[in-house]
Amino acid sequence: MSGEIRFREILPEPRRLWVRACPVLWPGAEGDWIDLSGPSLGAAGSGPLGELAAERQAKLDDVVYLPPVEAPEEGPRRRLAERLENAGCPVLLQGIAGTEGAAEPAVVDLTGWLLEGRPESLAGVWAGATTIWPWIAGLTDREDLWRPALAHLAAAQVRRVVAVAPELSPRQRRQLAERVEVQDYAAFFHRPAEPLVAFWRALAELGLEAFLDRPVPAEPRSLAVRRRVAGDLALAGDLLLLTTGDEVAAQNLLLAARRLDSESLDLEALVREGNLGLLDWLDDASTMAVLEALERGRSRVLSELLAGLLQDVASAEEER
């Protein structure tokens, strides 16, 4: 008899594809894939897939993560995803590149192909896909790997490549080193992964996207709007921290995003009635970002950060 599916909550972040609800005791697939709840390397689990109780489903109103499973559990997983989506809940259905079941609207995990040294296989990913690139020091953060691999993905008309840096335990590192080719052992065991800016700029140069817009629930509108705006501020804060090092401004945006996520309020009504100033936990920059995200669909600070990556690409092209 199958058990009951339970979920735990994590902080939704752009580089974990906005996942909030993660399954507990999930019958994960064999092979190499990134568990976004860590993020870490995924692990196989025992089946079969359990049932989701109605009272548990009613509490889910943000991105629900359904990791890859073995073929016998793919049907039940798809039915669970459809049930959640029909209830208006955003779902992240993860597939493994090269396996059956990684069809739309799955997010395709490239980890297995990349660790096996098969970047040419990336040309087989379906057009329009969102893909996960494992960002691992000494393995997949090497420019001599990712630059030609991204060209394969662009040729396949992939839409998006999201770099996810898993946290590897010492045991996982040793196990990986025993079965995959490691060209730089010092980097693999002793240093953090390379900064992502060059990777993101290469994506922009090839016309690929680096970030997933935050999926939001179908209703109510006030919740969907609040989640969308919080996602704008969170991505802006994350990029600001990584590209400029302005920790104070970045943390203000990140804290505002988390507070928006936790509050029950109607942002549009507050602005319409001139009461946004009542949110005294919003500093001036965050207040402006909220207003711009509501009025224009994207805050100016996020637009400028994204444009900055593109401008650097354009400058490099002019120099060539």
Phi first, then psi: what are they for 51, rounded to 5°? Answer: -105, 145
* Per-residue pLDDT at 272: 93
Cα dihedral 304, 310, 311, 317, rounded to 10, equals 180
Closest CA relative to residue 67, chosen from 188, 87, 38: 38
| pLDDT of 270 | 95
Q: Enumerate the domain spans of the chain.
A: 6-205, 221-319
For 221-319, CATH number? 1.10.150
What confidence score (pLDDT) does residue 320 get?
40
Q: Contact at 8 Å (CB) between 253 and 281?
A: no
Cα Dmax for the chain: 65
In DSSP terms, 7 is beta-bridged to 23
Closest CA to 286 of 269, 273, 267: 267
> So what's the pLDDT on residue 103?
52
pLDDT below 70 — which residues of the chain? 1-2, 100-105, 310-320
The CA distance from 268 to 218, in Å, is 16
pLDDT tens sequence across 83-92:
999 999 999 9
Alpha helices in 206-277 (DSSP H): 221-243, 247-262, 267-272
Do residues 85 and 101 touch, judged by C-beta distance below 8 A? Answer: no
Contact 4, 52 (CB under 8 A): yes
